[in-house]
Copies of this chain bind each other. A is one copy, B any other.
């Protein structure tokens, strides 16, 4: 039904079905990221791909399936690259660094897909939503188990690890709202800064805040 060879788009080179599917989903991610999933129409997508409206239904059964594939793809991309890289690493600190670095690298190279994932995935339904949540949970569990290993069992219950994990995820997943490549540097730099802040805080912390570094005057001095 879907053999390898098929025609190209602009006549440049031949494309397989899978290559064209990837092309369509990439454009879809751009359109969904820019206009928002529900406001973006298949007609907008058609304008972005150069194909006809109806032609897209050869590559996905519904608009929701397109959304699901975009989210699933970038989520698995992060998870699989991280797990592959982390195979040979035992030090939990280094594993944490790998997780953050991978997350940020993919975030910058697939910013539109990540925006779609963060913004629109939870509006999926049924099986689609269940599978995305399952993969998210696998990723979340990875982070928590690393944090537990770093902190050891000496203190910190599950609730504090949960808060720490969510704090870190929040910092990383917020990036698409503010990142500008010419100002903010590459993934390595972001990793240094964010992990630097998080790690010192997490390692030095016992749940109590690092307050009162100086006196606390109750009046304004100037």
Which chain A residues have a beta carbon within 8 Å of chain B's beta carbons? 36, 38-39, 88-91, 93-94, 97, 119, 122-123, 159-160, 162-164, 166-175, 177-178, 183-185, 190-205, 207-221
Contacts and interface: CB of A to CB of B under 8 A. Distances in A.
A218 B172 contact: no
Q: From DSSP, what is the main secondary structure of chain A's interface residues?
A: helix
A94 B91 CA distance: 36
Contacts of A168: 171
B167 A193 contact: yes
Contact of A208 (B192, B205, B209, B212): B192
B208 A203 contact: no
B193 A90 contact: no
A119 to B, nearest CB: 7
Given A192-B209, A199-B209, A220 B90 contact: yes
Contact of A214 (B88, B91, B197, B210): B91
B175 A163 contact: no
Contacts of A199: 201, 209-211
Contacts of A190: 163
A39 B37 CA distance: 9
A183 B196 CA distance: 28
A4 B120 CA distance: 41
A162 B174 CA distance: 13
A217 to B, nearest CB: 5
B173 A196 contact: no
Given A205-B196, A216-B91, A166 B160 contact: no
Nearest to A220: B90
A142 to B, nearest CB: 16
A209 B200 CA distance: 8
6 contacts: A88-B218, A90-B220, A90-B221, A122-B177, A196-B210, A197-B201
Contacts of A119: 119
A200 B196 contact: no
A149 to B, nearest CB: 12
Nearest to A219: B90
A167 B195 CA distance: 10
